Amino acid sequence: MGGGTRRGVARATVWRHGVDSPRTSHMVSAQACKRFDMQSLVVYANKLPPAPQVFGRLVTAINDGDCSLDRMAELVRLDATITSQLLRVANSVLFGFRTQATSAEEAVLRVGLKELHRIVGLCAAAAAYQSDMALYATDSARLWCNGLTTAVAMEKLCQATGGDAALGYTAGLIRSIGKMVLARFAAGTVAPYADDGTPLPEWETRVFGVQHAQVGAALCEMWRFPKPISGAVREHLWPDRNPNSPQLAYLLNLAGRFATGLDCGLPGEAMLWADQSVCFAKTGLDEARLLMLVEETRGEVARMKTVLDVIRLR
């Protein structure tokens, strides 16, 4: 396929989601509601794997400049699964060392700070996104694909706008973490999202009285992720509805559009991606630049899936 044709496909698949798509309003069928009390968040957060919390502490340490070899290794050792997965990646053909790393310190030194952040993030997402997601009319593999693609898109978008790529990657990877809490809270007592054209946040508000983005942001605050991440997660679904939405929220909205266009979208979200002209105004990007970033994202996601294959080995 030629470059011009491929660009045309990217234009059609990426930019025809969002406000360019019909926003037909559908009535949600009557179903039992189960109101989620944010005061009980800690109870359900404790039911999630520990890996996302470790990831949060590592991101905060890096953001604060507290990223010595000993500190990074100390954080990695907080979760035995992350430790073993990091060692597996560090000893794989991806890095090509002849001798085997046998400790967290060796593994951290071998992969380097940037890749450490990425790998631990992948480990955290792999651990978190493995529950039954029938409530959201999808499965864990799809949720994982969306998280990875959104994370890589955020890296590219932040680099293009002079932002912090590490913070962007983190926000993209965990943007759906609130769904894991609400899925556990529902525990089969709520009829699944029908994927009938109703925007997902509207359905969540009707059923739970809260949206997954709000729950996810509260989790980020509880786990002490840097504040820009929680702010972006909270506002990214409809950033143009809040005049104080940070730029990172608009970038996360664009990254969601990227994931949808690259066939990794999630039910009930395609209509959420903001008017691209608003996003362009808020980020300084334009359509030509974004189309290039889409292709860069596609290639990087393919590369990172190789790392995921190593992480997921049993």
Give me the mean pLDDT over the 28-46 stretch.
Answer: 78
Least confident of 97-106, 195-204, 305-314: 305-314
- Long-range CB pairs of 90-95 (<8 Å, 24+ gap) are 92/310, 94/306, 94/307, 94/310
pLDDT of residue 97: 85
The whole-number pLDDT of residue 4 equals: 45
Residue 199: per-residue pLDDT: 96
Sign of CA dihedral 67, 68, 74, 80: positive
User: Which residue segments constitute the domains of the chain, with CATH numbers given?
Assistant: 38-311 (1.10.3210.10)
pLDDT in tens, 78-115: 999 899 999 999 998 878 888 999 999 999 999 999 89
Instruction: Work out the average pLDDT over 57-83.
Output: 92
Q: Rounded mean pLDDT of the chain?
A: 87
